[in-house]
A and B are shown apart, each in its own frame.
Chain A
């Protein structure tokens, strides 16, 4: 069965900490995405990647960076966590260039205190 795995289900960090959220997919997908989900705002795209070492800004990239050194792994980095980055973070992946469906991980609920 296909799988997108996010390293942590719950995470609590302090303001100013550097935070790494990891996502791994086992489907050999080219595309990977990071979204954050907030009540009333739906899913908002932070960053995405369509190939190893390639990345593109989404709609809300400020305060975040990403890394994709291997095809199966896409990391989201909060350089200096702030309380307004408390959110549910969802990783997703998809195959190819024909707008295929996304496969999602279970999400990481990040709380920044």
Chain B
């Protein structure tokens, strides 16, 4: 069975502060993929990033960066210089197809509020 844990339920930061969202996962598969999705107040989840289990390089995209550490089974997400538009619920997810088909498990989400 696979599991994703996002221990932070809600985080509030003041605009321009940096914030890190934590994600810890469990899986017995050796090949898997990790994702982050953003759910703005409008409700529709939007894809942010996908990483496979063999690629531990950190990634940066503008103000967003991701830190993948296999040794600690973590895939953390940092927003630098946060903005009000970053306010949303962020979900970490784990995907594998050990049974021959894709199964995706989500964490419980972290609600981020950026205060102007």
Q: In chain A between 63 and 106, which residues have their CB closer than 8 angstroms to a CB of chain B?
A: 88, 90, 92, 94, 97-106
CA distance A94 to B44 in the complex (A): 15
Interface size on A, residues (CB 8 A): 29
When C-beta atoms are compared, the residue in chain A nearest to B35 turns out to be A101
**A3 CB to nearest B CB, Å:** 11
Interface size on B, residues (CB 8 A): 30
**Which of chain A's residues have a CB closer than 8 A to the CB of B109?**
42-43
From A31, A33, A99, A107, give the contact of B44 (CB < 8 A).
Answer: A107
Q: In chain B between 74 and 95, which residues have their CB closer than 8 angstroms to a CB of chain A?
A: 91, 93, 95
Known: A42-B107, A42-B109, A43-B106. A101 touches B44 (CB 8 A): no
Chain B residues within 8 Å of A, Cβ to Cβ = 6, 9, 32-33, 35, 37, 42-47, 50, 52, 91, 93, 95-97, 99-109
Supply 14 A–B pairs (Cβ within 8 Å), ascending by A. A31-B102, A42-B91, A43-B91, A48-B101, A48-B103, A56-B101, A56-B103, A59-B105, A97-B102, A99-B32, A99-B96, A102-B45, A102-B104, A106-B43
